[in-house]
């Protein structure tokens, strides 16, 4: 019956399913799918079953996961409209300008974080980010997103968030990029630092952060940690190549085994032989760059 009603109204009509607050409504789009619609005054005096005034629509959220959509509606029902709009603009910037592919949970996690960060700052409460240096070093693109976010908040709301918040915001993007839990993402910077420390210590070298091999190694470790926490490790298949690496480059292979032991201890995950082999290949390349 709902679809017949849409055909009478026209393809672009949106029907209110529920008024969340004066600025947010849950609605059905022209295909009958549920969406969240944001706009100043869009819910004021509105009722379920009525057509949305298109002139008031500022943003339409099409969230595929029903559980995420429900969390998002509950979250934004009790926060200032500007906080939700700023969070959305930051996410849009990340997706369009930096071409990041983000899990839709970012709409919940980042919006919630930004709302509380602004409230804390207005009360004079600032949190220290002990991982800030590591975040800058290992996740520079995400850190710059954090900087963009705090600059936008300063410009729009005249609220000066500290640099520490840029680091916290960066981790929400790391989490959304890699599809992990934010609690896991909090471990990434320290684990990256420790893994580099193992390589330097075991091979007796000082890694040159300006080389292409270093950048490729960092990228490999980032995605390795992603696979660890998502429990999507590579299977054991390349046994011959692994045997060759162990025989030809014993120091690098032993170093990768040390890293595997560290990951098993800190993440409770045993690396496959395939993962250890690829890790040793990247370690070998870093070693070549240092020779």
Does the pLDDT value for residue 130 go beyond 80?
yes
Does the pLDDT value for residue 5 go beyond 60?
no
Which residue segments constitute the domains of the chain, with CATH numbers given?
2-62 (2.30.24.10), 81-185 (1.10.1790.10), 188-290 (1.10.1790.10)
Mean pLDDT computed over 83-104: 93
Q: Are 145 and 110 in contact (CB under 8 A)?
A: no
What are the distances in angstroms from CA 171 to CA 3, 15, 197, 221, 229? 42, 37, 22, 16, 15
Does the pLDDT value for residue 8 go beyond 60?
no
**Beta sheet of 34-38, edge-to-edge order:** 15-21, 24-28, 34-38, 59-61
pLDDT score, position 3: 43
Give the bridge partners for 27, in sequence order: 16, 35
Does the pLDDT value for residue 289 go beyond 80?
no
Does the pLDDT value for residue 290 go beyond 70?
no
Mean pLDDT computed over 52-80: 91
Rounded to two decimals, the pTM is: 0.84
DSSP conformational letter for 270: P
pLDDT score, position 32: 86
Does the pLDDT value for residue 286 go beyond 70?
yes
pLDDT score, position 256: 96
Q: Are 2 and 28 in contact (CB under 8 A)?
A: yes
CB within 8 Å of 73: residues ≥ 6 apart: 20, 24, 26, 36
Mean pLDDT computed over 232-260: 87
Mean pLDDT computed over 31-50: 90
Mean pLDDT computed over 38-48: 91
Does the pLDDT value for residue 7 go beyond 70?
no
Q: What are phi and psi of 34, to 5 degrees?
A: -75, 135
pLDDT score, position 291: 52
Does the pLDDT value for residue 12 go beyond 70?
no
CB within 8 Å of 26: residues ≥ 6 apart: 16, 17, 18, 20, 34, 35, 36, 37, 73
pLDDT score, position 199: 97
140-152 per-position pLDDT tens digit: 999 999 999 999 9
pLDDT score, position 107: 95
151-201 per-position pLDDT tens digit: 999 999 999 999 999 999 999 999 999 888 888 999 999 999 999 999 999
Site of tokens 């890694």: 207
Mean of all residue pLDDT scores within the chain? 90
Does the pLDDT value for residue 134 go beyond 50?
yes
């Amino acid at each position: 019956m709902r679809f017949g009603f849409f055909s009478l109204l026209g393809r672009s009509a949106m029907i209110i399913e529920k008024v969340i607050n004066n600025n947010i409504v849950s609605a059905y789009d022209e295909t009958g799918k549920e969406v969240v619609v944001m706009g100043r005054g869009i819910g004021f005096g509105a009722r379920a079953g009525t057509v949305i005034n298109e002139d008031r629509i500022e943003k339409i959220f099409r969230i595929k996961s029903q559980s995420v959509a429900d969390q998002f509606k509950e979250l934004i029902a009790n926060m200032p409209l500007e906080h939700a709009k700023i969070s959305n603009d930051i996410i849009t910037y990340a997706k369009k300008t930096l071409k990041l592919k983000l899990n839709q949970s970012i709409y919940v996690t980042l919006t919630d974080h930004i709302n509380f960060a602004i409230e804390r700052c207005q009360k004079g409460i600032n949190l220290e980010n002990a991982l800030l240096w590591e975040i800058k070093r290992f996740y520079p693109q995400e850190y710059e997103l954090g900087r963009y976010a705090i600059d936008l908040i300063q410009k729009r709301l005249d609220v000066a968030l500290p640099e520490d918040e840029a680091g916290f915001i960066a981790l929400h993007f790391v989490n959304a990029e890699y599809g992990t839990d934010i609690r896991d993402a909090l471990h990434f910077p320290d684990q990256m630092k420790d893994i580099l420390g193992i390589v330097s210590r075991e091979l007796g070298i000082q890694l040159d952060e300006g080389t292409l091999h270093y950048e490729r190694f960092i990228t490999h470790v980032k995605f390795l940690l992603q696979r660890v926490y998502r429990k999507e490790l590579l299977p054991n298949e390349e046994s011959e190549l692994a045997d060759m690496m162990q025989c030809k480059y014993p120091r690098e292979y032993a170093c990768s085994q040390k890293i595997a032991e560290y990951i098993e201890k800190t993440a409770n995950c045993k690396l496959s032989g395939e993962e250890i082999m690829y890790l040793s290949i990247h370690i070998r390349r870093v070693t070549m760059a240092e020779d």
